[in-house]
Amino acid sequence: MTSLQPVRGTHDLLPDDSRHFRHIADSARAVAQRYGYEEIATPIFEFTEVFKRTLGDTSDIVTKEMYSFEDKGGDEITLRPEGTAGVARALISGGLSQNLPLKYFYYGPMFRYERPQKGRLRQFHQIGTELLGVPEPLGDVEIIALGAAILTDLDVYSHTTLELNTLGNSKSRAAYRKVLVEYFQDHRESLSEDSLDRLERNPLRILDSKNPKDREVVAGAPEFRDSLDAESSDFFATVLSGLDALDIGYVRNSRLVRGLDYYCHTAFEYTTEALGAQGAVLAGGRYDGLVGLMGGPQTAGVGWAAGVERLSVLIDEPPTSTRPIAIIPIGEEAQIFALRLSNDLRREGFTIELGYRGNLKRRLSRANKLNARIAIILGADELEQDAATIRDFDSGEQRLVKLVELKDQLARYG
């Protein structure tokens, strides 16, 4: 019989991994709360149409990467490949547009069928934020600043570079698309097969190509800034001045784009060289056309998402959890007493590890491996004196403490 293994592109979150993930999510949640962002959790799966509408029938995610299936009721269902679509759907189905502006933070697993590599899995986790109902450029500044604050709290910010670009309004985008298509048509013979396909479906995505042949062609392509109208230029200038006011450094990347038409104005990424080719740590942009495309009211939106697996590679060892107190009973009578004592102390807020078996030496050894702060030893002699022996693992000190004084004595170990 073949030994069971996790499905390719998935992994178990063992306690050390879970501690890293919890630290990232808790830190991000706390910072987002200070910015006024409330937590939202959408279902892990949605009707497939939610993602086809938002990601486009011709995008790589929809055509190659989505986990889609027909459920027992005959509905087409997809495991969510990203978080924004679900939040936009919740805005529409929940009738939340009357409460704009809305500020949301989310954390959870996403699913994409792609080649597993460092920091990228088929089941992966993201933190993300969405700001809905704020068309002003200061919304972009706030969402970028929130990303910077979270990366700073995780001690990652100094290892990243903020890259950003403007996609302009719909008029500017259409003008740029026209000149870009004309340029790539003149260089068709030098484009890869994938880029030739994108030229018909989604020409802006050619700018993202990693193919060396495509990169040579892209180097000479017209830049978005040359197609911007006055409104688009003024919008981006306000974003840049806001970032300057907050001392958030940035690098303008004229090749940073989003291929879907509902994206506009600011596109940005915090990137790092510590992850190899997968350099984006946190990425986002403005998507004013998304909710309207999904059938809801025209609603401004801007947000970002960050991969938790990637952040986990970058962060230092997170703070350790509370060191437990080990209770070690010796003898059957002490076992029952220790069970009750453990329960009482846990109700008082103490973290208790109760020894189940073995002699005193083995139980002390296990407590030490668990990084226990102290051990409470309960044997016949202790119970006879209504007392317990406390052993301090850090100092090696051992002393007898009356049971009535035990809780007060434990408080000193925090």
Whether 44 has a pLDDT exceeding 70, the answer reads yes
Domain boundary among 261, 284, 314: 314
What is the count of structural domains for the chain?
Answer: 2
Query: Residue 399 domain-assigned?
Result: yes
Per-residue confidence band for 278, with pLDDT thresholds at 50, 70 and 90? low
Omega before 101 within 30 of 0, i.e. cis: yes
Whether 1 has a pLDDT exceeding 60, the answer reads no
Whether 45 has a pLDDT exceeding 70, the answer reads yes
Among 286-290, 340-344, 391-395, the least confident range = 391-395
Phi, psi of 327 (to 5 degrees): -110, 125
Quick one: pLDDT at residue 60?
Answer: 62
Give the global pTM: 0.86
Query: Residue 3 domain-assigned?
Result: no
- 75 and 126 share a domain? yes
CA-derived radius of gyration, the chain: 28
Query: Residue 2 domain-assigned?
Result: no
Structure tokens at 74: 């005959």
Highest mean pLDDT among 223-227, 284-288, 389-393, 401-405 belongs to: 284-288
Query: Residue 300 domain-assigned?
Result: yes
**What are the tens digits of pLDDT across the range 109-127?**
999 987 776 667 899 999 9
- In angstroms, the CA 125 to CA 41 distance is 13
Per-residue confidence band for 355, with pLDDT thresholds at 50, 70 and 90? confident
Quick one: pLDDT at residue 2?
Answer: 57
CATH number, position 374: 3.40.50.800
Whether 372 has a pLDDT exceeding 70, the answer reads yes
Answer with the residue of higher pLDDT: 146 or 192: 146
Query: Residue 204 domain-assigned?
Result: no
What domain range is 347 assigned to? 325-411
Query: Residue 111 domain-assigned?
Result: yes
- In angstroms, the CA 203 to CA 412 distance is 65
Per-residue confidence band for 132, with pLDDT thresholds at 50, 70 and 90? very high
Quick one: pLDDT at residue 205?
Answer: 81
Q: What single-letter amino acid sits at 299?
A: T
Whether 7 has a pLDDT exceeding 90, the answer reads no
Quick one: pLDDT at residue 230?
Answer: 95
